[in-house]
Structure 1
Amino acid sequence: MAEHDPSSGGENDPVQGALPLAGASELGGGREVPFPVALLAFSSVSGVGYRALHSLVGAYGNDLGRLLGVAPEVAVGHLRARKAPKALVEAVSGLPPGLVERAHEHLGQLGRKNVHVLGPGELPARLLRLPGGPRWLFVQGDPAALVQGPHVAVVGTRDASPAGIDAAAAVVRTMAAYPVTVVSGLANGIDAAAHARAVEFGLRNVAFLGHGINIVFPAETAQLRERMLEYGGAVATEYLPDERYRRQQFVQRNRLQAGLGELVIAVEGQASSGTAHTVRFAAQYGTPVVGLSWRGAGDLPRLVADTSGGRVLEIFTPAARRELDTMVRSLAERHGHATDALTLVQRQLTREAACRDLRQDDLLQLQEKIQQLLNERR
């Protein structure tokens, strides 16, 4: 498949709108070919590159399979009527025999890896709203992780400092009191640290990849990826299953993190880094951004501060942690979740009680401490 730039979108993009929206009924009858099968079938056809595939899905949506369910001359006539590019018409007119059958086999192989193919009708609403957003996703794990919020993106550099790793841990621990889903990119450094801490605290993860779903990159994240899936998370990508990684693709997957996240937390990086792209995408989409600062942090906080709606927190201070707690708790409550800021304390108390020789005096002292906290809050 041809190299592509999935960030392309908007009024000046020749892909978007290259084919007028098609009415499925105009193709008449024919066998039903499910969208995932049709997508895999067309993606394997010589001459159908990303732009053609993107345009086809834009025009036919979930009914893409109708083009494969009718006689070739009918499909060709339909495309010509919409002034489709000549190369695309020729590709469809010469579809090889057994194409759909092989696509069914391919889909079965993906299914055995717990990979789902989401069409336009199944994509999360927050991604559908994006200019130049995805028109399909390959999702390994539970697709519900992409729609059950709130989602908080935690992003940062691959070349993380020890302080940056600690900052990512502090962020995730603060969020862990609430039922949020951590969104990141499963790269080394800050991404991996955020995902790993989320698993430790029982939070769900969503990771967007800059390559195909069949590829594990970097190799060091293989075990972490498996644990994320075991804990009900998902790994998602708009790239075809075996597509290799390219630098630009990692930049473009950042728009999906910024788009799905209802809050973006930029942990560490430089104003010229890939993380900065995520910050700019978030600003474009109207997603609130938080940058973290500490002694020795890079210049990313300055970029966040200059971003509309951006907020910089000195993450290693109690005041900053409380402010972040307020933000995340508010998100959870807007999604209808009951919240309890001391969830982690209760979990730890239960674990301690199970392995301690508790006495009545211990519990009375705990009761006194709780009463003291109540008095301080009055």
Structure 2
Amino acid sequence: MPREELAAWLRLMLTPGVGTESARKLLAAFGLPQDIFEHDPAAWQSVVGTRAARALTALPDKLDAEVDRLQAWLAEDAHRHVLTLGDLHYPTELLQMVDPPLMLYVQGDVQALHHPRRLAMVGSRNPTPQGEANARQFAHALGEAGVCVVSGLALGVDGAAHEGALQAGAPTIAVVGTGLDRVYPKRHLSLAHRIGAQGAIVSEYPLGTPPLAAHFPQRNRIIAGLSQGTLVVEAAVQSGSLITARLALEQGREVFAIPGSIHSPQARGCHALIRQGAKLVESAQDILEDLHLVPARPAELTLDLDTDAEGEDSLLAAMGFDPVSLDALQARTGLDTARLQARLLELELQGDVSRLPGGLLQRLGRG
């Protein structure tokens, strides 16, 4: 993109007092940003009012420096892109939104944004061990079936979903709430690099933008908008994941939810969604069939959730899949404390059981 065109887009985005709604009105009225700035303030005022028109008369602070920084960032890596509303590579699904981003910054393969099979996976930043395992297993199975998983790079379910997709050799898209020259959370730095190499990281925020709390609910509309459906793995009742689900419904997309224990606060958001009409799913196959997504290649798609005790460890059968206390487990099995603790330790080391806060134990699903 020529420097003058890039500068015009950044001026429109960075002018204080001119939000995305006003910017879209100006674009609709005058065309590209360079065309907007060829008109006089009186013309702007007729479209966006006096205050926004007055703001547009002044150049944003350090505009030239911002253009320099963006051009340098783009030049450092051929896999870095800036897509504007007028760009041929801009995802058509986002154009159908009420408030599409004016610009998208992309690190990675821009073609991932046009993958024919895209599903959002979202959930708690503090999932139960089973919830995290479910996210990884579903993403792996969906990835093997040729689906591109879209999530938000957050801790917990998001990170597990990206990991599962990457392990399946599938592309995955991370939509973030910072500038692409930053990684948040920092512990996902390595994961972000892997996503950029195998899929794409996307942001609507200029370089240098820090992780402000208001940006994360805002970026959720892009996660939902890029996807044919949204799967909520685990979520509390007051959760950003439910915002993503609501936005998906508003955009006419399917919403799926994995049920959990009635005793787990992290399952209550999913149960609320199911009561409101979200589709209960127990396997990746449920999602593929509902969205009419034919697997790209054979894959084991079902997450084993049943509790059939035939041929399995009797202690695991006694645990079921809900969180359980040591006392309750001892009452079910009749084992003395020493033997029970020793066997639980074995199962924990094998990855079959996890310890939860409050002294509870939970059996982990088999992937």
Residue matched to 1:360: none
| Aligned partner of 1:196 among 163, 166, 190 | 163
User: Residues of 1 paired with 2:62 and 2:271: CA distance?
Assistant: 56
Structure 2 partner of 1:299: 268
> Could you tell me which residue of structure 2 aligns to residue 339 of structure 1?
296
SS class of match (1:299): helix
Q: Cα distance, 1:275 vs. partner?
A: 0.9
Q: CA 1:172–1:132 in 2, change beyond 3 Å: closer, same or farther?
A: same
1:17 counterpart residue number: none
User: Taking structure 1 as reference, are residues 220 and 304 closer, same or farther at Cα in structure 2, changes over 3 Å only?
Assistant: same
| Equivalent of residue 37 in structure 1, options 1, 4, 7 | 7
2:154 paired residue number: 187
- What corresponds to 1:237 in structure 2? 203
Report matched runs for 1:252-291 at 5 Å: 252-291=218-257
In the TM superposition, 1:146-161 aligns within 5 A as 146-161=113-128
Are the structure 2 counterparts of residues 158 and 341 from structure 1 closer, same or farther at C-alpha, using a change threshold of 3 Å?
Answer: same
Distance 1:260 1:98, change over 3 A: closer
- For the residues of structure 2 that align with 1:238 and 1:152, how far apart are their CA atoms? 20
Displacement, 1:102?
A: 4.5
Measure how far apart 1:67 and its partner are.
Answer: 3.8
Deviation at 1:322, TM superposition (A): 3.8
1:275 to 1:248, Cα distance in 2 relative to 1, 3 A: same
Pairwise mapping of residues 216-235 of structure 1 onto structure 2 (< 5 A)?
216-231=183-198, 233-235=199-201
* Equivalent in 33, 43, 54 of residue 64 of structure 1: 33
Per the TM alignment, residue 237 of structure 1 is displaced from its structure 2 partner at its CA by 1.6
Q: Aligned residue for 1:116?
A: 81
Give SS of 2:272's match: helix
1:73-125 per-residue CA deviation (whole Å, 9 max, x = no partner) reads x4435424x354334444444448995x5554233123025432211123211
Instruction: Provide the C-alpha distance between the structure 1 equivalents of 2:234 and 2:61, rounded to a whole number of angstroms.
Output: 52
2 CA distance for matches of 1:270 and 1:135? 32
Query: Post-superposition shift, 1:57?
Result: 4.1
1:126-168 deviation line (CA, Å, top 9, x unaligned) = 1111122323222222222112221110110100111011111
Task: Give the letter for the 2:233 counterpart.
Answer: V
> Shift of residue 41 of structure 1?
3.3
- Deviation per residue, 1:34-69 (Å, 9 max, x gap): 6433122344556656665455445445x112245x
Identical aligned residues as a percent: 27
Q: Return closer, same or farther for 1:35/1:144 CA change in 2, 3 Å cut-off.
A: farther
Q: How far apart, in 1, do the equivalents of 2:101 and 2:178 lie? A: 14
1:172 CA drift (Å): 1.3
Task: Figure out how many residues of one structure are paired with residues of the other and give that number.
Answer: 293
- SS in structure 1 at match of 2:209: coil
| Secondary structure at 1:183 match in 2 | strand
SS in 2 for 1:145: helix
Match of 1:86 among 17, 37, 50: 50
Once superposed, what is the RMSD of the aligned Cα atoms? Answer: 2.9
Q: 1:86 is aligned with what amino acid?
A: T
Amino acid at match of 1:326: E
Q: Against the structure 1 CA distance between its residues 77 and 223, is the aligned structure 2 distance closer, same or farther, given a 3 Å change threshold?
A: same
Partner of 1:105: 68
Whole-Å separation in 2 of the counterparts to 1:303 and 1:95 = 48
Report the counterpart of residue 280 of structure 2 in structure 1.
312
Structure 1 residues 183-216: Cα deviation after superposition (integer angstroms, max 9, x where no partner): 0000000000110111111111111112222221
Return the offset for 1:177: 2.4
Matched residue type, 2:72? Q
Give me the whole-angstrom Cα distance separating, in 1, the residues matched to 2:15 and 2:299: 55
Taking a change above 3 Å as real, the CA distance of residues 146 and 272 of structure 1, as seen in their structure-2 partners, is same
Per the TM alignment, residue 304 of structure 1 is displaced from its structure 2 partner at its CA by 2.1
TM (norm. structure 2) is: 0.71
Unmatched 5+ stretches in structure 1:
1-31, 345-378
State the secondary structure of the residue aligned to 1:131. coil
Structure 1 Cα separation of the partners of residues 140 and 91 of structure 2: 26
Q: Which of 217, 225, 235 does residue 251 from structure 1 map onto?
A: 217
- 1:229–1:91 Cα change, 3 Å: same
- Counterpart of 2:82 in structure 1: which amino acid? V
Q: Deviations over 1:192-247 (max 9, x none)?
A: 0110111111111111112222221110111100001111x111122222222222
